[in-house]
């Protein structure tokens, strides 16, 4: 047997080893708890506590939502199995509450903590759709026709376009009182731009494009004389869009249109004739004298005043030109080969400009 001193020494070592093990274990628990409670979970948690294999869900987060509203969206759309307030809590703990973006989130149905963990890495999906300046109702329908094929919708492209554009709820509430009736008249109020949408739907495109138009021009409705009749302004802007190739000429052409309207002169705009034939199913690449005989309210060679609706989607520059046309002495213009125009005050001068343009 060993001496009592040696036995006491061994017991002391064992005691201190247990104390060290206990302290290390306690420290590890404390650190792990702190990491779990206060910080973003590390790879350790993802390795040893993976996200449960729940049903995959797609959640749409609209722009402008708060973190609590986003958390509630996950609950309402069936992706969250627990409390939305608890999810908002974990989103704040993980620093997600100020970083979450609009879009579609594809996540596994789970509880608040596991949902928050997914939101650390999952990226929202957005779709890019472009409305081109000068697009008419026919070219816009192609976007909707493609969409109807994608989602196997029973509606045709025409029906999808009409449904999305004439639905008042797709427009800002203060804008609705100013909107004309009918899809052809409302097309002009979709500001042309490339939009990143949270849903690839016609309603979402109309909603975002109309809100963009309102954000830009809404305040001018009560200030600008040109907006006394918003539909007439849209019609002029659409004609300016199709007649002018270069932005610096748009205010001048708007001024010519204003001058002719004041004198009750026929506008004689070729673009309206092209549109009139397009409504009848014929696409013109060049306007001939025989084409000017078409019986249509859009034929500004034989019908006085403005056409009944815009002929295309005007650009920002065309809207600006229609709202503030340039004061000009001109009543006529003819296109040159470079896309610019010769302008004239009299018909005789206009005829000379036609000859000049043809011999360039």
Residue spans of alpha helices (H) in 59-217: 67-76, 84-93, 112-119, 137-150, 157-166, 173-176, 183-186, 202-217
Q: Residue 269's closest CA among 226, 248, 240, 231?
A: 240
Greater model confidence, 9 or 213: 213
User: Could you tell me if 318 and 234 are in contact, meaning their C-beta atoms sit under 8 angstroms apart?
Assistant: no
Instruction: Give residue 104's pLDDT band: very low, low, confident or very high (50, 70, 90).
Output: confident
How do residues 131-164 score in pLDDT, each as one tens digit? 999 999 888 887 766 544 444 344 444 577 788 8
Rounded mean pLDDT, 352-359: 93
Q: What is the DSSP letter of 228?
A: S
Sequence-ordered list of residues with C-beta below 8 angstroms from that of 204, at least 6 positions apart, any chain: 197, 198
Examine the pLDDT at 175 and tell me if it is beyond 60.
yes
Which of 234, 144, 226 shows the shortest CA–CA distance to 187? 234
**pLDDT (0 to 100) of residue 29:** 64
The average pLDDT across 193-204 equals 84
Amino acid 354: pLDDT: 94
- In this predicted structure, what is the pLDDT of residue 161? 76
Q: pLDDT category, 261, cuts 50, 70, 90?
A: very high
With 0.75 as the threshold, say if the pTM is over it: no
The reported pLDDT for the residue numbered 17 is: 67
304, β-bridge pairs: none
What pLDDT, on a 0 to 100 scale, did the predictor assign at position 350? Answer: 96
What integer is the mean pLDDT of 63-86? 92
**Do residues 196 and 126 lie in contact, with contact meaning Cβ atoms separated by under 8 Å?**
yes
Residue-level pLDDT at 199: 79
Q: Please, what's the b/e burial string for 1-23 (b: 16 or more CB within 10 A of its CB; e: otherwise)?
A: eeeeeeeeeeeeeeeeeeeeeee
What's the whole-number mean pLDDT along residues 47-57?
74
Phi, psi of 125 (to 5 degrees): -100, 130
Question: At 269, is the secondary structure helix, strand, or coil?
Answer: coil
What's the rounded mean pLDDT across residues 285-301? 93
Of 51-60, 210-219, 306-315, 332-341, least confident by mean pLDDT is 51-60
Name the more confident of 76 and 220: 76
Q: Quick check: 47 pLDDT over 70?
A: no
The residue with greater pLDDT, 323 or 51, is 323
pLDDT: which is higher, 252 or 20: 252
Does residue 226 sit in helix, strand or coil?
Answer: helix
What proportion of the chain, given as a percentage, has pLDDT over 90?
A: 51
β-bridge pairing 127-130 and 332-335:
unpaired
pLDDT at 320: 94
Q: Based on the number of CB atoms within 10 Å of its own CB, is 257 exposed (0-12), middle (13-18) or buried (19 or more)?
A: buried
pLDDT at 150: 44
Query: At residue 224, does pLDDT exceed 50?
Result: yes
- pLDDT attached to residue 3: 56
| Predicted local confidence at residue 346, as pLDDT | 96
pLDDT tens profile 112-130: 988 998 998 888 888 888 8
Tell whether the model's pLDDT for residue 210 goes beyond 50. yes
3-state DSSP call for residue 320? helix
Tell me how far apart the alpha carbons of residues 209 and 275 are, in angstroms, rounded to a whole number: 23
DSSP string for residues in 273-309: HHHHHHHTT---SS--GGGGG---TT-TTTS-S--SS
Give me the phi and psi of 327, to 5 degrees please.
-70, 120
Stretch 286-306: mean pLDDT, rounded? 93
- What average pLDDT does the chain have? 84
**Strand, helix or coil for residue 80:** strand
Evaluate if residue 264 carries a pLDDT over 80.
Answer: yes
Residue 190's pLDDT is what? Answer: 94
More confident residue, 121 or 13: 121
Q: What is the pLDDT of residue 8?
A: 47
pLDDT in the model for residue 285 = 87
The confidence score (pLDDT) of residue 157 equals 47
pLDDT at site 44? 55
């Amino acid at each position: 047997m060993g001496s009592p001193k040696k036995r006491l020494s061994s017991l002391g070592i064992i005691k201190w080893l247990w104390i060290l093990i206990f302290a290390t274990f306690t420290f590890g628990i404390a650190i792990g708890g702190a990491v779990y409670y206060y910080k973003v979970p590390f790879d350790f948690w993802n390795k040893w506590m993976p996200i449960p294999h729940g049903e995959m869900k797609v959640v749409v987060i609209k722009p402008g939502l708060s973190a609590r509203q986003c958390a509630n969206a996950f609950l309402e759309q069936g992706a969250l199995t627990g409390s939305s307030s608890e999810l908002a809590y974990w989103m704040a703990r993980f620093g997600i509450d100020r970083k979450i973006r609009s879009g579609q989130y594809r996540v596994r149905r789970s509880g608040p903590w596991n949902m928050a963990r997914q939101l650390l890495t999952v990226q929202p999906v957005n779709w890019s759709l472009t409305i081109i300046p000068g697009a008419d109702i026919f070219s816009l329908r192609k976007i909707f026709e493609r969409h109807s094929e994608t989602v196997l919708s029973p509606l045709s492209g025409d029906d999808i376009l009409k449904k999305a554009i004439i639905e008042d709820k797709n427009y800002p509430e203060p804008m609705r009182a100013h909107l004309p009736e009918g899809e052809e008249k409302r097309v002009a109020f979709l500001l042309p731009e490339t939009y990143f949408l949270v849903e690839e739907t016609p309603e979402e495109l109309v909603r975002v494009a109309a809100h963009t138009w309102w954000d830009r021009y809404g305040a001018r409705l009560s200030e600008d004389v040109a907006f006394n009749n918003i539909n007439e302004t849209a019609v002029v802007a659409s004609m300016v869009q199709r007649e002018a190739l270069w932005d610096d000429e748009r205010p001048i052409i708007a001024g010519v249109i204003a001058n002719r309207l004041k004198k009750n002169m026929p506008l004689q705009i070729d673009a309206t004739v092209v549109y009139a034939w397009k409504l009848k199913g014929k696409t013109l690449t060049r306007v001939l004298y025989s084409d000017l005989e078409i019986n249509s309210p859009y034929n500004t060679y034989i019908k006085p005043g403005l056409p009944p609706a815009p002929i295309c989607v005007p650009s920002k520059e065309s809207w600006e030109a229609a709202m503030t046309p340039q004061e000009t002495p001109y009543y006529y213009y003819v296109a040159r080969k470079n896309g610019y125009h010769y302008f004239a005050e009299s018909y005789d001068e206009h005829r000379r400009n036609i000859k000049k343009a043809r011999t360039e």
